[in-house]
Structure 1
Amino acid sequence: MGSPNCKDHPVRVLQEAIEGGITLYQFREKGIGALTGDQKLELARQLQQLCRENHIPFIINDDISLAISLNADGVHIGQDDEPVEEVRKKLGEDKIIGVSVHSYDEAVTALKGGADYFGIGPVFPTKTKEDAKPSNGTKLIEELRHKEFSIPIVGIGGITADNAGSVITAGADGVSVITAISHAPSVTEAAKSLRKSVLEIRS
């Protein structure tokens, strides 16, 4: 998440989400009112510091140069960004690279390029990403697992505590959410509920 997704200050929202048990944070400063330039950099630094203090991986959505300047733990890229191989050369072998994939062919390309995990979605309809593709359920997750892809898979899009279990059952290792946590009446309780719904299936 980023500042456009928060009803409170992003640092407070992230702190409460960490208290609720999130296991990774992706800085995604996009949308109406998104910060740019020095303001974006300063917010990223604050959120990264909070992640470091709590031993939570801090990755950045799309912005490779920002990830390099902050020495972030990694990036998440889409199909319209640079090829995985080029991003890997810039970041180094020790960084996390997640790639959004929407088909078997895109998954093969990302895997060959050196992706560390796939983001697959939107699983359910989402309003957070204005240019999101139509939701496709868990079909691609199931297909990739059936074809014995062992790479970690994260379900993205419209996921809540009520439907997260079905994403894990389909073969995902985790779920990625924004507003299900950041817009919840209690950020901490929302994160706890999501974590519980995932772990119940995985245990």
Structure 2
Amino acid sequence: MPSGVVLLTDRRQARRPLTEVVEAAVAGGVRWVVLREKDLSRAERAAQAAELRAIMAEAGGTLVVAGPDPLDGDAVHLPAAGPYPPPAVGLVGRSCHDATELARLTTEDYVTLSPVFPTRTKPGYGPPLHPGRLGELIAASPVPVLALGGIETPQQVRECVAAGAAGVAVLGAIMRAGDPAALAATLTAAHQAARRPQPSSTTKGAK
């Protein structure tokens, strides 16, 4: 199940070739990547998927393909609009934005909820949920949630985890980063620290 820092691709925002950015993110600890690039032909996307799938497999990670066609793989991430029911593949995620969309879920394995924060990738897209509303929607979700939208800093990662998110999905911040590996490592470390159980003060000094 996707967790930690999940990278969504957008080669048009990337400061390097997409494959290099993904390799750098994986070096920084990312183990889940969602291939978007929906403007490419199926053949072009399938070739890109094969290349990225090999990178992910070597690292013990998983490539998820945006849209209902898994491009010869076994994991897809669907838009809120459909299709319903989801295709019968090994892993299915869906983009959601509100309680109505969460209520439509059937056999999906996880969802993204967005936008959590204002986002440069889709300016004006929203309004932002912010951590408070994110937490309310996570409580209503029947499946694990990845927080998405405007996540660029360790503090934002911590706020999403505190709201109950299993992980954070990041697009623009890593695509645009001068050092994608360093940013991925920083955000991954923040997620791991936020998920670590905190020692209970009530047990201190207990006999």
TM-score for the superposition, normalised by structure 1: 0.83
- Which of 114, 118, 124 in structure 2 is aligned with 1:121? 114
CA spacing shift, 1:47–1:20, aligned 2, 3 Å = same
Query: SS at 2:136's partner residue?
Result: helix
- Which has more helix, going by share of residues? 1
- Measured after TM superposition, the shift of residue 150 of structure 1 is 5.8
What CA distance in whole angstroms lies between the structure 2 residues aligned with 1:78 and 1:169? 26
Larger radius of gyration: 2
Instruction: Return 5+ residue gaps in structure 1 as ranges.
Output: none
Counterparts in 2 of 1:32-181, with a 5 A limit?
Answer: 34-62=39-67, 64-65=68-69, 67=70, 69-70=71-72, 72-83=73-84, 85=85, 87-89=86-88, 91=89, 95-110=90-105, 113-129=106-122, 132-147=125-140, 149=141, 151-162=143-154, 163-181=156-174
- Which of 14, 21, 27 in structure 1 is aligned with 2:35? 27
What CA distance in whole angstroms lies between the structure 2 residues aligned with 1:132 and 1:75? 23
Question: Given residue 36 of structure 2, which amino acid in structure 1 is its aligned partner?
Answer: R
CA spacing shift, 1:134–1:52, aligned 2, 3 Å = same
Q: Specify which structure has the bigger relative contact order, considering alpha-carbon pairs within 8 angstroms and separated by 6 or more residues.
A: 2
Tell whether the 8 Å contact from 2:33 to 2:63 is kept in structure 1 after alignment: yes
Percent identity over the alignment?
25
Count of residue correspondences: 187
- Measured after TM superposition, the shift of residue 38 of structure 1 is 2.7
- Measured after TM superposition, the shift of residue 51 of structure 1 is 1.2
What CA distance in whole angstroms lies between the structure 1 residues aligned with 2:99 and 2:82? 18
- Measured after TM superposition, the shift of residue 59 of structure 1 is 0.4
- Measured after TM superposition, the shift of residue 145 of structure 1 is 4.4
Query: SS at 1:50's partner residue?
Result: helix
Structure 1 match to 2:188:
195
Tell whether the 8 Å contact from 1:96 to 1:116 is kept in structure 2 after alignment: yes
Tell whether the 8 Å contact from 2:31 to 2:59 is kept in structure 1 after alignment: no
Residue by residue, what CA displacement relative to the aligned partner does 1:78-103 show, whole Å, maximum 9, x if unpaired? Answer: 211211x2x233x2xxx111111222
What CA distance in whole angstroms lies between the structure 1 residues aligned with 2:56 and 2:108? 22
CA spacing shift, 1:77–1:16, aligned 2, 3 Å = same
Q: RMSD across aligned C-alpha pairs, in angstroms?
A: 1.9
TM-score for the superposition, normalised by structure 2: 0.82
- Measured after TM superposition, the shift of residue 168 of structure 1 is 0.7
Residue by residue, what CA displacement relative to the aligned partner does 1:23-54 show, whole Å, maximum 9, x if unpaired? Answer: 21100114xxx433433322222111211222
